[in-house]
């Protein structure tokens, strides 16, 4: 067991030079190594946006919206913390500038500042610190990893840094700073450059903060001369410059950190003794998955891929991770491809390209763009018996497709797109209609974990029953079973169509406990190898060592011989 000190420790992780250097993964990886030494670790994300949550941001701009069990719409980094730390992270571990200001203003209106002049400093950092400490208490954490969003030197995150500086000032022995910085290797020079990182460390100094560790993110490992240089010019002991080259998989980053004794150095700095290391299970797994050779090709069909001239799958971060976990669980090698559904609207003949996939996934989404293309893809997967997994919108649109082409109700649609359709097979939930009428858009969807009752003899219940009991809380109950899953939607299968859909072969294998909301849809195994959709988002609770059973079942079907 670890020797625990009474005072909790805070490790602040900040980013240098540019965004997207991998602060979230670094935070989660160091957290994992500390947890595996017997400490209780939690992780917080402090996002600089004014948005109260990530729910109102376009996924192309911000990446995935990650939903917590208690229904918060947060940043995808919270998902990384959950996957690496194998823990449930709740709303109080996420904050934005908007959220912090809102609390301060509400307190001021309630006269909680007792007539004082309420100021940006110290009142905003004080509220930030209160939130950091609250998260520590709720998790009873020995270590609180705090990732500060944005990049050093920008104006936006300065109050979070000020809060961190104040904490260091109040308890120097309890606070550490990790700067995750980028070292470019310009093609023309062919040499790793340290200067931008030196500037980042100095800019951090001008916020009153000295980095204790610098993670040197680059395409290659950092060499000794450059380590020396960074140590010297950023006032960091050389051994505290941690090499952070690109890895074949994010799950190997903890291994790379361990090789450099990152966690041990952290403990040494804080005067703590390390407990027994129990990282073996993770390391063995990460080594083993590298050996899988047999490829599984999965097409992810969506519409939040293109930003300018670049294709990114950031909007579907957890879906991509959940697919990887499930492919590895089947001892195969994942080949994932992103397909923009609008392509099939412009060029319907190109649908045949889908033949090359072992399975097709349609993840969640909103609005009209690209939707006919998606419905076309679903029809193709259904008719050609390609394993299909639909997540949220991907389930709703599968129901629309089925209603149109099997029930023969040609104009069937979701009222999200066609309010006047004579066959609104997907319709808005009544309480959601009221929200939209009042322009109450923020944080108002059906969010977070709800129960679903599973039906005996279905793909759904069989898949869950096979997996080890985990974050979805599978529990056998009188002739069926229940699971907890996370939601984020306003629309649902219209109850008026359920009987007709069931009579024509569709099975609703998961329903809300009152039987009103359809949570899982599937087609019988004898008609299709795997055609299943969920109203919830199973991807949020999948972990590398605990893949989600519905994803695992989907991949199993995708790897089975298809004639
Ligand atoms: N747009 C759909 C709804 O609001 C689906 C949402 C989603 O895929 N997360 O119900």
Residues 344-396 have pLDDT tens digits of 999 999 999 999 999 999 999 999 999 999 999 999 999 999 999 999 999 99
**342 CA to middle of ligand 1, Å?**
18
Nearest to 212 by CA among 269, 143, 132, 253: 269
**pLDDT for 311:** 63
Q: Is residue 36 part of a domain?
A: yes
Could you tell me the two tokens for 203? 């800019």
Peptide bond connecting 326 to the previous residue in cis, omega within 30 degrees of 0: no
Which of 286, 302, 320 is where one domain is finished?
A: 286
Q: What residue's CA is closest to ligand 1, atom 7?
A: 364
Which of 266, 286, 306 is where one domain is finished?
A: 286
Helix ranges (DSSP H) in 171-316: 195-206, 224-234, 253-259, 262-269, 280-289
Q: Is 487 in the pocket of ligand 1 (CB under 6 A)?
A: no
Residues 143 and 61 in one domain: yes
Residues 268 and 367 in one domain: no
Q: Is residue 486 part of a domain?
A: no
Q: Is residue 274 part of a domain?
A: yes
Domain of residue 364, residue span: 292-427+493-510+517-559
Catalytic (active site) residue 537: yes
Residues 409 and 267 in one domain: no
Q: Is 365 in the pocket of ligand 1 (CB under 6 A)?
A: yes
* 548 in Cβ contact with 542 (< 8 Å): yes
Q: Is residue 242 part of a domain?
A: yes
State the Cα–Cα distance between residues 555 and 358, nearest whole angstrom.
Answer: 8
Q: Is residue 2 part of a domain?
A: no
**218 CA to middle of ligand 1, Å?**
37
* DSSP code string of 449-507: EEEEEEPTTSHHHHHHHHSPS-TT--EEETTEEEEEEEEEESEEE-GGGHHHHHHTT-E
Q: Is 416 in the pocket of ligand 1 (CB under 6 A)?
A: yes
Residues 362 and 347 in one domain: yes
Residues 320 and 183 in one domain: no
**366 CA to middle of ligand 1, Å?**
6
Which of 239, 254, 286 is where one domain is finished?
A: 286
**How many domains would you assign to the chain?**
2
Residues 271 and 369 in one domain: no
Nearest to 257 by CA among 180, 176, 152, 143: 180
**pLDDT for 510:** 97
Q: Is 464 in the pocket of ligand 1 (CB under 6 A)?
A: no
**pLDDT for 313:** 73
Q: Is residue 155 part of a domain?
A: yes
Which CATH number goes with the domain that contains 239?
A: 3.40.50.300
* 293 in Cβ contact with 559 (< 8 Å): no
Task: Select from 315, 393, 415, 433 the residue to mutate for testing ligand 1; criterion: most ligand atoms less than 8 Å from CB.
Answer: 393
* 325 in Cβ contact with 357 (< 8 Å): no
**299 CA to middle of ligand 1, Å?**
20
Q: What residue's CA is closest to ligand 1, atom 6?
A: 489
**pLDDT for 562:** 60
Q: Is residue 460 part of a domain?
A: no
Residues 100 and 217 in one domain: yes
Residues 147, 528, 539, 548: which is the catalytic one? 539
* 340 in Cβ contact with 302 (< 8 Å): yes
Q: Is residue 304 part of a domain?
A: yes
Distances (CA, A) of 475 to 412, 520, 560: 36, 16, 28
Q: What pTM was computed for the model? A: 0.94
Residues 94 and 216 in one domain: yes
Residues 76 and 208 in one domain: yes
Residues 184 and 261 in one domain: yes
* 361 in Cβ contact with 394 (< 8 Å): yes
Which CATH number goes with the domain that contains 418?
A: 3.40.50.880
* 442 in Cβ contact with 56 (< 8 Å): yes
Nearest to 209 by CA among 166, 175, 165: 165
Catalytic (active site) residue 487: no
**302 CA to middle of ligand 1, Å?**
13
State the Cα–Cα distance between residues 422 and 412, nearest whole angstrom.
Answer: 7
Residues 104 and 121 in one domain: yes
Residues 335 and 221 in one domain: no
Instruction: With a cut of 70, list the residues of the chain below it in pLDDT.
Output: 1-5, 306-312, 562-563
Residues 127, 147, 392, 401: which is the catalytic one? 392
Q: Is 474 in the pocket of ligand 1 (CB under 6 A)?
A: no
**Which atom of ligand 1 is found nearest the CA of 366?**
1
């Amino acid at each position: 067991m670890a020797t625990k000190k009474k005072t909790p420790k805070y490790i602040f992780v900040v980013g240098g030079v540019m965004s997207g250097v991998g602060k979230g993964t670094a935070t989660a990886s160091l957290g994992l190594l500390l947890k595996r030494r017997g400490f209780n670790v939690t992780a917080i994300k402090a996002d600089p946006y004014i948005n109260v949550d990530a729910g109102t941001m376009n996924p192309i701009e911000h990446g995935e919206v990650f939903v917590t069990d208690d229904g918060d719409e947060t940043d995808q980094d919270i998902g990384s913390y959950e996957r690496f730390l194998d823990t449930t992270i709740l709303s109080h571990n996420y904050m934005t500038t908007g959220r912090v200001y809102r609390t301060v203003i509400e307190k001021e209106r309630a006269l909680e500042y007792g007539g004082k002049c309420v100021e940006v400093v110290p009142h905003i950092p004080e509220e930030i610190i209160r939130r950091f400490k609250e998260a520590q208490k709720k998790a009873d954490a020995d270590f609180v990893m705090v990732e500060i969003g944005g990049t050093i030197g920008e104006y936006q995150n300065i109050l979070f840094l000020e809060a961190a500086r104040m904490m260091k000032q109040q308890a120097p022995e309890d606070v550490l700073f990790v700067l995750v910085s980028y070292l470019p290797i310009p093609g023309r020079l062919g040499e790793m450059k340290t200067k931008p990182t030196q500037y980042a460390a100095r800019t951090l100094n001008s916020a009153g903060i000295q980095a204790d560790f610098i993670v040197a993110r680059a395409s290659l490992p950092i060499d000794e001369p450059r380590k020396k240089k960074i140590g010297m010019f950023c006032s960091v002991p050389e051994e505290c410059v941690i090499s952070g080259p690109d890895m074949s998989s994010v799950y190997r980053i903890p291994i790379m950190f361990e090789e450099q004794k990152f966690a041990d150095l952290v403990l040494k700095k804080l005067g703590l003794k390390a407990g027994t290391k129990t990282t073996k299970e993770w390391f063995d797994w990460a080594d083993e998955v590298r050996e899988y050779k047999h490829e599984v090709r999965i097409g992810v069909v969506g519409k939040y891929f293109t930003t300018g001239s670049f294709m990114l799958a950031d909007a579907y971060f957890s879906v991509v991770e959940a697919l990887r976990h499930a492919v590895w669980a089947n001892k195969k090698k994942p080949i994932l491809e992103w397909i923009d559904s609008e392509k099939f609207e412009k060029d319907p003949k190109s649908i045949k390209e889908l033949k090359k996939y072992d399975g097709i996934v349609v993840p969640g989404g909103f609005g009209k763009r690209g939707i006919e293309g998606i419905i076309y893809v679903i029809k193709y997967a259904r008719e050609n018996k390609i394993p299909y997994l639909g997540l949220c919108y991907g389930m709703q649109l599968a129901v629309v497709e089925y209603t149109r082409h099997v029930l023969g109700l040609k104009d069937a649609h979701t009222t999200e797109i066609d309010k006047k359709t004579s066959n609104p097979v997907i319709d808005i939930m009544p309480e959601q209609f009221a929200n939209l009428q009042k322009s109450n858009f923020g944080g108002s969807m059906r969010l977070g974990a709800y129960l679903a009752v599973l039906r005996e003899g279905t793909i759904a219940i069989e898949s869950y029953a096979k997996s080890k009991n985990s974050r979805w809380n599978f529990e056998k109950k009188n002739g069926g079973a229940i699971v907890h899953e996370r939601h984020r939607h306003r629309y649902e299968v219209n109850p008026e169509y359920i009987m007709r859909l069931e009579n024509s072969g569709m099975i609703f294998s998961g329903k809300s406990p009152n039987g009103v909301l359809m949570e899982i849809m599937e087609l019988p195994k004898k008609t299709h190898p795997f055609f299943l959709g969920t109203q919830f988002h199973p991807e949020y609770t999948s972990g590398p060592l605990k893949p989600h059973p519905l994803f695992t079942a989907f991949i199993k079907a995708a790897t089975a011989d298809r004639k």
